Chain A
Amino acid sequence: MSELLIKNGYVIDPLNDIHGEIMDIAVRDGRIVESVGNAADIIDAHGMLTLPGGIDSHTHICGTKVNFGRYMSPEDMRAGRTTRKGDMHATSGFSVPTTYGNSYRYSRMGYTTLLEGAMAPMEARHTHEEFQYTPLQDCMANTLFDGNWQALEAIGNGDIKRLAGVLAWYLTASKGFAVKLTNPGGTEAWGFGNDVSCINDKIEHFNVSPREIITGMIEANEMLNLPHSVHLHCNNLGKPGNYLCTLDTYNSIPDLNEKRQSLYSTHVQFHSYGGTSWHDFCSKAEDIARSVNNKPQIVIDSGQVMFGKTTTMTADGPMEFNLYRLYHNKWSNHDVELETGSGIIPVLYRRKNLVNAVMWAIGLELALLVDSPWQCILATDNPNGAPFVKYPEVMALLMSKKYRDAEFATVDPATESRVSLPALDRELDWEEIAIATRAAQAKALGLVDYGKGHLGIGADADIAIYPIDVSSTDPTTDYETIINGFSTTDYTIKLGHVVSRKGTCSIDNSNRTFWVRPRVPDNYDMNHDPAFIDCFNKYYSMRMANYPVQEEYAVRNICIETEATL
């Protein structure tokens, strides 16, 4: 038995209606409990902001395309090197750090749970291998279905129950956590070098539209009673005028779940663009935010862009090729048979580039214009908008108009006529930041009941203690304090163990993989479905028997079993 008592912290725990109280938190064997004995280890959190461990509900940290980002970019590896020291292994990388680099740097910021945003099921073993080397966080992965032939065929036939059976098989086989759609339909079209223009184009051969894919998947997702909703990267990412496509998509989203959203719309900054070309490119964050404010069935993450060098990586292969033709840098592409695509290019977001400055402003506008922080999650689509180490700066920008104005003064002056940011006075408070960085993620992912994102009795003892004295810090002016304070915790606690102390990490080995196993009736069990097996045997280059991720790839794991309603 191990016991820990965190004394006198300034605690914000939005899910338990604790809005900033000086209190003690008792921990026994990795869980939060009512009280502990006198022999418990004591942490004095006096004068320190104490929050549930941070959760990133959309990041790219592990798997085939992330690793290819490292592989093709020795210049990025050189830009972030640390040596082996104590328990800590050597790390490399700035925008795409090695697995240890990701794990240590997230941990020093107080993050204890991460969701890998895009995993091709055929390459799932790779993602799970890297999870094993991400030792200080619980991890989970979205499984990609945007171009899945068996799913597209079921949708084309209008058979949503069969679609649910297909999703269940792949989620289980890949040890995935949620259903992810990246440019639905577009990645299949990219197999022959094409794309879709918005949600109404029918994709060749399968004769289904992105709209049918999105709505069908949402329906099937809810039939499976999964913890998370469909997780969508909309069509048309990064194109001027794409906000209309995004609004059209949002207007077709049904409200099917009482506990959480029916759609998680990710990196929405990249989908909130007005204009007809790069010449009249402008922000449409107000339109998007208005739509979200009217639709409780939608939760978004902002996909904030921050200035500097980074690497873009996505399953959206055609988008990356378009981006490459703008940047002329270097381009990698990796299409995955019967399933999805992917692309990678390095980018530099410049303050003096009008388009980049507008993108930066849009992310902030979304976070300030969406009324409820439960509906707008803070994320950079790491590393697409910026490496996650920039989160503290994003928090400071959202908490301080003064800081925003100071930054705005450094960007291309023409930005002012394209965005509404300078007119926005809202400044997020401590609680709103706590919601947008952990509580909203736990709720959106459906993990509150699994002990994530809060400090109630029985919750995972994942706790972040920041050296920020709320009583003497005015976030609207002391933005340097905010940035420094959120950059490095005094203590990051994972399942009751201190895993990072003022930025120095220690071995923990309690990291777990969360995945789902929906149970479906026999007639929807694809393991025994002749058509499913036939498609597998004919068209995959891997045997069906060798496809599912074996148990040994998720050594410590939490399997969330659900019963499908079919």
Chain B
Amino acid sequence: MRIIEDMVCPFCGCLCDDVILTIENDMIIAADNCCTVGNAKFLGKKRLKSPIIKKDGVWEQTGYDEAIQYTVDTLLDADRPLMFGWSGTHGEAQCIGIHMNELIGGVIDSTTSVCHGPSILAIQEVGHPGCTLGQVKNRADLIIYWGCNPVEGHPRHMSRYTVYADGYFLQNSFKERKVIVVDVRETETAGIADEFVRVKPGGDFAVISALRAIIRGKGDIIPESVAGVSREQLVRVAELCKTCKFGALFFGLGLTMVKGKYKNISNAIELVDELNRHTKFTLTPMRGHWNVYGSNEVFTWMTGYPYAVDFCRGVAFYNPGETSAIDILARKECDACLVVASDPGAHFPRACVEHMKDIPTIVIDPFQTLTTTVADLQIPVAVTGIDAEGTAYRMDGIPLKVKKALDSNYPSDTEILSKMYEKMLEVQWQ
């Protein structure tokens, strides 16, 4: 039996790096300090044994070399290839993905376009007053969770970085901190809030605007109630925000993927901007996949844009809504699809998934997913954080090396993609 400390959890954007793994007979038998979702990933066992290919509607086992060749041929043959996913793999593999996509003139997109894509559009419009999570832990006396439910989605967020975390500038962190939760329903997180603000669905933009008005001294124009929130509560919340020493606003898909979308986020950013004229305030998107933020970082230094990049004209071209995965699929433009480390089959609109079924779709993923059911080929790989290693970026931009605990016979995403890229380059030079 062997114990490995300080391991990084490859599940969510918290990237907890204090996990203790117990290994016995080349198996992880325990993952201490981990939340239940992280635990499930570390202890997951249902991995594919070898690549599988669908022939006449029936899955058959195939070899890695054949699978790589099939993928290269398919992508080179395509007029409008799409390379989607990336949030569940390490940065080194994402870099190779960008080079491959540049070579074949395809579209490359990450899960960002279906989660915090609107947040990025807002940031591109009005900027982003943020900070690292330790800054919140050490200083914040006011925490706001808006449209997110960390108790279930990011289970250790509150204990590591916010509500329950000990901080340098707080004597008794838990008692001194106020917590505001804004949501359309009373989530478990709402249960620990000092102030739960229940907004009618679709009313977030109006509530943010009302808070901005109050903070700018225009509270007298606010009606009795805004999107189901009473004026009294709005005034109370605004006062909490203005008088705290350090406020931190975290938001999730309950703000990005509802009515108003990116306008909600730019309004929230401008609220934080306004509050910085009174006190210190920051804002952080609750990123989902463990390395979705890393995909944005890598895409940006390699291509100039954080997601939805189209290389069909040789230059990097970016226009989410046109060059994002869902749009390429919904318009049925895409004629071959490579999915790496994500599960669009579970999350994309039905029409898009149906189109994936009609075109050659290849999945690189350690596990069978819903996307497997519409794919023609799946290549199993090592799991970063278990039997592969590489760089990931936490939701606040902190880069961490995700280490491996075991050796296995599975190739990593980097190894598989490198082989594909080398073969593509050979074809190009011929």
| Contacts from A to B (Cβ < 8 Å) | 62, 64, 67-68, 70-74, 77, 81-84, 89-93, 97-101, 122-123, 125-126, 129-130, 133, 191-193, 205, 321, 324, 330-338, 344-345, 538-543, 545-546, 550
Counting CB contacts under 8 A, is B178 at the interface?
A: no
- Min Cβ gap A91→B in Å is 8
* Per-position binary interface string of chain B over residues 314-335, scored 1 when its CB falls under 8 Å from any chain A CB and 0 otherwise: 1110100000000000000000
- Report the Cα distance A33→B306, complex, angstroms: 46
Counting CB contacts under 8 A, is B109 at the interface?
A: no
- Report the Cα distance A100→B280, complex, angstroms: 36
Contact A71–B276 (Cβ < 8 Å): no
Contact B315–A82 (Cβ < 8 Å): yes
**With A93-B304, A545-B5 as contacts: A125 and B401 at CB distance below 8 Å:** yes
Which residues of chain A come closer than 8 Å to B132, judged between CB atoms?
122, 334-337, 541
Stretch at the interface among B55-63, B117-125, B340-348: B117-125
Residue in B131, B279, B301 whose CB lies within 8 Å of A336? B131
Contact A321–B276 (Cβ < 8 Å): yes
Beta-carbon nearest neighbor of B120 in chain A: A71
Sampled A-B contacts (16; CB under 8 Å): A64-B397, A71-B300, A72-B128, A82-B315, A90-B316, A100-B302, A191-B139, A191-B246, A330-B126, A332-B123, A334-B128, A337-B133, A337-B137, A539-B167, A539-B168, A542-B398
Q: Once A and B bind, how many residue pairs between them come within 8 Å at the CB atom? A: 174
Contact B134–A338 (Cβ < 8 Å): yes
Contact A84–B6 (Cβ < 8 Å): no
Counting CB contacts under 8 A, is B418 at the interface?
A: no
Contact B103–A84 (Cβ < 8 Å): yes
- Report the Cα distance A286→B131, complex, angstroms: 39
- Min Cβ gap A297→B in Å is 35
**With A89-B99, A126-B297, A191-B139 as contacts: A72 and B127 at CB distance below 8 Å:** yes
Chain B, range 10-54, C-beta contacts under 8 Å to A: 17-18
- Min Cβ gap A519→B in Å is 25
- Report the Cα distance A337→B397, complex, angstroms: 12
- Report the Cα distance A338→B169, complex, angstroms: 12
Counting CB contacts under 8 A, is B8 at the interface?
A: yes
Counting CB contacts under 8 A, is B130 at the interface?
A: yes
Which residues of chain B come closer than 8 Å to A92, judged between CB atoms?
303-305, 315-316
Which residues of chain B come closer than 8 Å to A133, judged between CB atoms?
95, 301-302
Which residues of chain B come closer than 8 Å to A335, judged between CB atoms?
130-132, 135, 282
- Min Cβ gap B123→A in Å is 5
- Report the Cα distance A337→B296, complex, angstroms: 22
- Min Cβ gap B118→A in Å is 14
- Min Cβ gap A294→B in Å is 41
Besides A99-B301, A129-B391, A333-B128, 14 other CB < 8 A contacts? A67-B300, A90-B311, A92-B304, A98-B301, A123-B397, A126-B397, A133-B95, A191-B135, A336-B131, A337-B137, A338-B138, A538-B166, A538-B168, A542-B17
- Min Cβ gap A140→B in Å is 18
Which residues of chain A come closer than 8 Å to B391, judged between CB atoms?
125, 129
- Min Cβ gap B27→A in Å is 23
**With A333-B128, A333-B129 as contacts: A550 and B401 at CB distance below 8 Å:** yes
Residue in A98, A122, A541, A550 whose CB lies within 8 Å of B137? A541
Q: With a 10 A CB-CB cut-off, give which of B127, B305, B313 has the most chain A CB atoms.
A: B127
**With A125-B391, A334-B397, A550-B401 as contacts: A67 and B301 at CB distance below 8 Å:** yes
- Report the Cα distance A126→B400, complex, angstroms: 9
- Min Cβ gap A113→B in Å is 20
Contact B160–A541 (Cβ < 8 Å): yes
Residue in A90, A205, A539, A546 whose CB lies within 8 Å of B102? A90
Counting CB contacts under 8 A, is B91 at the interface?
A: yes
- Report the Cα distance A384→B161, complex, angstroms: 33
- Min Cβ gap B348→A in Å is 24
Which residues of chain B come closer than 8 Å to A338, judged between CB atoms?
134, 138
Ordered nearest first, which 9 A-B pairs have the shortest CB separation?
A92-B304, A337-B134, A83-B314, A541-B134, A77-B304, A193-B280, A330-B127, A125-B399, A335-B131
Beta-carbon nearest neighbor of B138 in chain A: A539
- Report the Cα distance A72→B99, complex, angstroms: 22
- Report the Cα distance A481→B253, complex, angstroms: 56
- Report the Cα distance A123→B293, complex, angstroms: 14
Contact A546–B6 (Cβ < 8 Å): yes
- Report the Cα distance A336→B123, complex, angstroms: 19
Contact A334–B127 (Cβ < 8 Å): no
- Min Cβ gap B106→A in Å is 13
Which residues of chain B come closer than 8 Å to A99, judged between CB atoms?
301-302
Which residues of chain A come closer than 8 Å to B129, judged between CB atoms?
331-333
* Per-position binary interface string of chain B over residues 285-301, scored 1 when its CB falls under 8 Å from any chain A CB and 0 otherwise: 00000000000110011
**With A332-B127, A335-B132, A546-B401 as contacts: A77 and B318 at CB distance below 8 Å:** yes
- Report the Cα distance A330→B303, complex, angstroms: 22
Residue in B17, B103, B123, B313 whose CB lies within 8 Å of A71? B123
Beta-carbon nearest neighbor of A325 in chain B: B277
Counting CB contacts under 8 A, is B245 at the interface?
A: yes
Beta-carbon nearest neighbor of B278 in chain A: A193
Beta-carbon nearest neighbor of A132 in chain B: B95
- Min Cβ gap B131→A in Å is 4
Which residues of chain A come closer than 8 Å to B246, judged between CB atoms?
191-192
Which residues of chain A come closer than 8 Å to B91, judged between CB atoms?
129
Counting CB contacts under 8 A, is B376 at the interface?
A: no
Counting CB contacts under 8 A, is B413 at the interface?
A: no
Contact B6–A545 (Cβ < 8 Å): yes
Which residues of chain A come closer than 8 Å to B204, judged between CB atoms?
none
- Min Cβ gap B72→A in Å is 18
Contact A334–B130 (Cβ < 8 Å): yes
Which residues of chain B come closer than 8 Å to A545, judged between CB atoms?
5-6
Contact B133–A541 (Cβ < 8 Å): yes
Counting CB contacts under 8 A, is B183 at the interface?
A: no
Which residues of chain B come closer than 8 Å to A538, judged between CB atoms?
166, 168
- Min Cβ gap B74→A in Å is 21
